[in-house]
Structure 1
Amino acid sequence: MPARDLIRDILSALGLLTRFPVNLTEAPAPRAAWAWPLAGLLVGLLAAVGGALGLWLGLVPGVAAALALAIEAAATGGLHEDGLADCADGFWGGRDKARRLEIMKDSRVGSYGVLALGIVLLARWAALTALIGTGQWGAIIAAAAMSRAPMAVLMAALPNARGSGLSASHGAPSAMVAAQAVGVALLAGLICGAPVLPMALAMAVATGAVAALAKAKIGGQTGDVLGAVQQMALVAGLAFA
């Protein structure tokens, strides 16, 4: 792939998945899904730097972990967390597919969404506290990068359940692009020196569980489902690291 296309896809990934000021000349395209782990790599790097800075300033690992969480949320605008909350509200708050999709589209957060966010954030914080306390910075960065690949996998494997919205408007990446995203994610984990095998296996199980649930509840994936699978893969990867 020419260098110009590589840069274009990386900027597309950053523009779609982060709040970094990226000047895009065209709408994000599914072909750039291979670069989504690179956007996660940058987010994870910033979180790790924030955690390390917290320790240097004398903060205990738990507070440094909270700082890392805040940096991640600021970098992404809470994009994936919002999807997780919407999925929890819709999947368990609606009696049929139409009602579930309607609830997921509502910007308000219900009790299921609050509980899901609270539990997942608590799990992330606990894992980050342990990793920061033992200086496992590579695992923190790798988890952020690797957890972006399942979004491409779900987009390629499942049909769009709504036919509109963020996921549908960008189109689905091909199976080859999804495989490239997985390859980039694994390579990033290896470069970071993380325990890639257990992290990847845990993320694969989480991805399969979310995919099966989404298929049963709404018949496919949406942008919210992609956010949810990123969060669940992230938790699984951090926990097994």
Structure 2
Amino acid sequence: MKWMVRTFPLVGFSMGLLLSIGYILLNDYTQMSPLALSFYIWVMPIILTGGLHLDGYMDASDAFFSYRDKEKRLTILKDPRIGAFGVLSLLVMLSSRFVFIYETVLYTESAVITIVLIWIPFFSRMVMGASLILIPPAQKSGMGFSFSKYMTKCELLFLPGYFLMGGICSFFLSGFYLYLSFGVVTTGFFLFVYVKSIKWFGGMTGDTVGASVEGMEWMLWMTLWLLPLSDMV
């Protein structure tokens, strides 16, 4: 369990590298339109994860938008059924993320997109690892608890190491300022997740961790979509 959490960012990096290689091949050696390329970028993370994190996102949305107390929200998280709020939240999140991806593909250099496809799953898995290490579990059962009970603060030391190595790579290759921007957004987003997980659910669960992964990726795509306004991309 410890080594799984320690290597989450490496898993994200590997997924991003696979996405990036696929994008390069499709962009350079086929006649795919920007719309088709955007669909590839949008759908492949869902296929690679089997929709696992989206399931957590829907459950967490149903629980949050119930506006009940913490105990009732935890009960809703355990319910295998999906409610209207979960479906609506999923539609809004995925459709807006597709818009961010599509307009990024249209107006951003392909070299930048290649880098971004690596960093986005990398940072989202950093948040997943930090959530399991730092946020106390909301209940004494479930996937989140099964990971967190083995975690110590030693696992936290791996995350700055990964961030530093990624920063060195981006400095010597390209995209250093974009990498730093993503780092700042990721830090702010994790602080939000930390505070709200405790406030809304009494801690983290497997569903809230999955929701944080999807929310982090949504946030980073929106950041990339907004950055041309400040001439950073």
Q: TM-score, normalised by structure 2?
A: 0.82
Q: Higher RCO, 1 or 2 (CA under 8 Å, sep at least 6)?
A: 2
Amino acid at match of 1:101: L
Paired residue for 1:180?
Answer: 158
Quote the Cα distance in structure 2 between the aligned partners of 1:183 and 1:37.
10
1:223 pairs with 2:195:
no
1:68-118 CA-partner distances (Å, limit 9, x unpaired): 222211111112111111111111225122221111122222222122222
Amino acid at match of 2:43: A
Paired residue for 1:40?
Answer: 12
Paired residue for 2:57?
Answer: 84
Other structure's SS at 2:192 match: helix
Task: Out of 58-67 and 139-148, give the one that drifted further.
Answer: 58-67
Paired residue for 2:188?
Answer: 205
Aligned-residue offset at 1:149: 0.8
Aligned-residue offset at 1:237: 2.2
Aligned-residue offset at 1:131: 4.0
Amino acid at match of 1:201: V
Quote the Cα distance in structure 1 between the aligned partners of 2:81 and 2:169.
40
Amino acid at match of 1:39: V
C-alpha change, 1:227 and 1:205, in structure 2 (3 Å) is: same
Task: Out of 124-133 and 105-114, give the one that drifted further.
Answer: 124-133
Quote the Cα distance in structure 2 between the aligned partners of 1:116 and 1:186.
34
Other structure's SS at 1:163 match: coil
Quote the Cα distance in structure 2 between the aligned partners of 1:111 and 1:190.
45
Task: Give the paired residue count.
Answer: 213
Aligned ranges 1:37-116 → 2 under 5 Å: 37-55=9-27, 56-93=29-66, 95-116=68-89
Quote the Cα distance in structure 1 between the aligned partners of 2:168 and 2:220.
14
Paired residue for 1:11?
Answer: none
1:142-196 CA-partner distances (Å, limit 9, x unpaired): 1111110111212222211021011111235222312312431453365354411
1:141 pairs with 2:118:
yes
Aligned-residue offset at 1:32: 3.2
Quote the Cα distance in structure 2 between the aligned partners of 1:187 and 1:132.
27
Quote the Cα distance in structure 2 between the aligned partners of 1:85 and 1:234.
15
Task: Out of 196-205 and 57-66, give the one that drifted further.
Answer: 57-66
C-alpha change, 1:237 and 1:182, in structure 2 (3 Å) is: farther
The RMSD of aligned alpha carbons is 2.1
Quote the Cα distance in structure 2 between the aligned partners of 1:176 and 1:127.
37
2:142 is aligned, of 165, 169, 181, to: 165
Aligned-residue offset at 1:226: 0.9
1:155 pairs with 2:132:
yes
Q: TM-score, normalised by structure 1?
A: 0.79
For structure 1, the 5+ residue unaligned runs are 1-28
Quote the Cα distance in structure 2 between the aligned partners of 1:107 and 1:165.
13
Amino acid at match of 2:166: A
